[in-house]
Amino acid sequence: MIVVEWYRENSRFIKIELYIRDCVVEDIVFSGDFFEEPEGLIESIEKSVRGLQLSDAIKVLGSLDVYGRIIGVDWRDVYEKLCSMLREVYGECIKE
């Protein structure tokens, strides 16, 4: 399991729990102090990532800002931190 927590100076935060087994995303859960636009964006992303190979899941998460936005956190910063941690722990699962 990978847990990424990202805090901003304005006290906003996002937490991402990512459960991976055999290079497949079993579950992903977003929580925190933020808003999403459009409503339901996070739930849609969570559903679309479950069951994907980790490399494919990373691509989907990288395009999150194409479908909407998370208000209160800088998604690009969170995404870069998440990718860095995933490469460190699950590098063998990631095909560039």
* 12-70 confidence digits (pLDDT tens): 788 899 999 999 999 999 998 888 999 999 999 999 999 999 999 999 999 988 889 88
Tell whether the model's pLDDT for residue 9 goes beyond 70. Answer: no
Provide the CATH number for the domain around residue 39. Answer: 3.30.390.50
Counting Cβ atoms within 10 Å, is residue 63 exposed (0-12), middle (13-18) or buried (19+)? exposed
Residue 91, pLDDT score: 92
Residue 19, pLDDT score: 94
Residue 66: which domain range? 2-93
For the segment 4-11, the average pLDDT, to the nearest whole number, is 70
Tell whether the model's pLDDT for residue 92 goes beyond 90. Answer: yes
Q: Which of the pair, 75 or 26, is modelled with greater confidence?
A: 26
Work out how many domains the chain is built from and give that number: 1
User: Residue 24: which H helix or E strand, with range?
Assistant: strand 24-33
Whole-angstrom distance, CA of residue 65 vs CA of residue 41: 10
Could you tell me which residues come within 8 angstroms of residue 69 by beta carbon, excluding any fewer than 6 positions away?
A: 36, 37, 41, 75
Q: Which two tokens stand for residue 67?
A: 């479908």
